Amino acid sequence: MNSSLFKYSSSAALSVARKSKFQRSTLPVLQTRHASTMNNHNVPKLSDPSLLKLDVNFVNGEWVKAKSGKTFDVYDPTNSKVIGTAPDMDSADTELAIAAAATAFKSFKTWTGRERSKVLRKWYDLMVENQEDIATLITWENGKPLADARGEAAYAANFFEWFSEEAPRIYGDTIPASVPGNRVVTFKEPVGVCGLITPWNFPAAMITRKVGPALAAGCTVVCKAPSETPFTSLALAELAQRAGVPKGVVNVITAATNTPAVGKTICTSPTIKKVSFTGSTGVGKTLMSQSSSTLKKLSFELGGNSPFIVFDDADLTSAVAGAITSKFRSSGQTCVCANRIYVQAGIYDAFTSAFVDAVAKFQLGSGFEKGVTHGPVINAKAVAKVDEHVQDAISKGAKLLAGGQKLPELGANFYAPTILGGMNAEMKLANEETFGPVAGLFKFETEEEVIKLANASDVGLAGYFYSQDIQRVARVAEAMEVGMIGVNTGLISDPAAPFGGMKESGFGREGSKYGVGEYMVTKMVTHVKRAQSGSMKPQRNAPAPSPEGSGLPDGLPTHLAINFYPVMLVEAPGATKEPESGGASSHDNPSRGQ
């Protein structure tokens, strides 16, 4: 396909519409139907205005300002206008939140699983009742289309529903002991106060996916909301209060992007016993280093560079639809989005043509406008990174098949959905997470080749592949070095499924029954049963033999002597049996080990 035929053009004559639409003409030219959304961005009024919390954070059951009085601006990415301000909390503010969580933990950890379940279920019900307002806040501060935001609000609520059902089902074990007369049992306990640091790309779902299992386990939390999208998190805190979550159990604080002291305070505090973080690998390494001084429990979901593989035997229509969903959902700003699309040579041309046609149907603009499928990226820094990756690829031989430039007539944070063909492993897009609406197409020949390419990354969060060969499905799924795999689907997230990566994409799992375990510790108890009268077992007060040099204290009860070294000595095959009397014992030979 000739990349010179694909260009981006603006038509002022069609500026009456309130959205941007990419459409193929006689020549494959991508067009916009609107020159500006900046002045046509109508934010719906909230049904419950009290959900929008300006200038306050939620600490110890109260709405408080930063002690310093400082605030920071929160911007609408669609038009770059200020939505409102949020408190710029510092270390002292964070310490107060941690102290509140620590006090609350003393009583909350004693709640039964059923009691915790009821509170989570009530919180879920309130999220469902307020879904439209939550979605409005998400679109306003994140920019994703309202339909997507509604989906996120429902998805976020589902984590509370799921973990409300897990809370009463946290079980221990009874373990057969190796020592006669012993019983071993285990039970689970909440780890303690948890620090949660959440990202902006899913401002509702990322907090509920962490808070849900923490509360189900009996932990209390201090959540640092993202500076780009704090109002969604604060709205959820308001609903937590209404749901009857005790004061201090959930604390939500905010800080500007240039306030790293809050994250450091969370990681270095000896009171906080666990940190859960979702974000970049670089920041994750910093937080891990800061947490090392107190040896906290950690679960990190970090950067990705997801491969998306299309084999020759794939269903073409399904593969294109899956790639569109995985790559361009939320304008490419998901941690599991397809960053590298590998297409086998036999289907490459057909896939590329269908893929370009599908992208041509996108409509860009304000997420509140009807029919818009894609909104802006989050900020100017994100735009710059996307453009850097595109220009780098083109300079190294990639073919521009669609998009490839900023769209200032729509707004400062809009970038045309872009498709690049003829990609190679030397390009930045192949080695870095773009986090934007750019799809790079790589051609491959064999299964062995593409597995090697897919695994040639330091990160391993998610991967996808399309094939109708059942034997290949098993082979490739086992060979891919990622924590999550989608086979013939571009969507893999589910509250019931474990979410997390491997390699430098982090460790630990969120969602599912495994997600609760991340917030618990396992305690083991060994119980020695009292010997029954007349049994063959040693009597409790019978003195244990204490041969000279045995290392056992004189008069040690036999049942304790048995447990002092609970090792059974087995005669080696062919060994000469020592005489019953007159022979040297092992205690006479200090060179023999115990």
- Among residues 14, 70, 37, 11, the alpha carbon closest in space to that of 374 is found at 37
Q: How far apart are CA 72 and CA 405, in angstroms?
A: 30
Positive/negative CA dihedral, 110, 113, 118, 121:
positive
Distance in angstroms (rounded) separating the CA atoms of residues 350 and 338: 19
Distance of alpha carbon 522 from alpha carbon 509, whole angstroms: 17
State residue 90 phi and psi, 5-degree precision: -120, -170
> How many angstroms from the chain centroid is the CA of residue 422?
32
Residue 196 and residue 207 in contact, taking contact as beta carbons nearer than 8 Å: yes
Contacting residues for 525 by C-beta, under 8 A, at least 6 apart:
184, 185, 186, 187
Q: Which of 154, 116, 125, 122 is nearest to 138 (CA)?
A: 154
Q: What is the DSSP string of 432-485?
A: S---SSEEEEEEE--HHHHHHHHT-SSEESEEEEE-S-HHHHHHHHHH--SSEE
* Secondary structure letter of residue 557 according to DSSP: B
Known catalytic residues are 301, 335
Measured at the CA of 182, the angle between CA 176 and CA 186, to 5 degrees, comes to: 55
Please state, in angstroms and rounded to a whole number, the distance separating the CA atoms of residues 326 and 340: 11
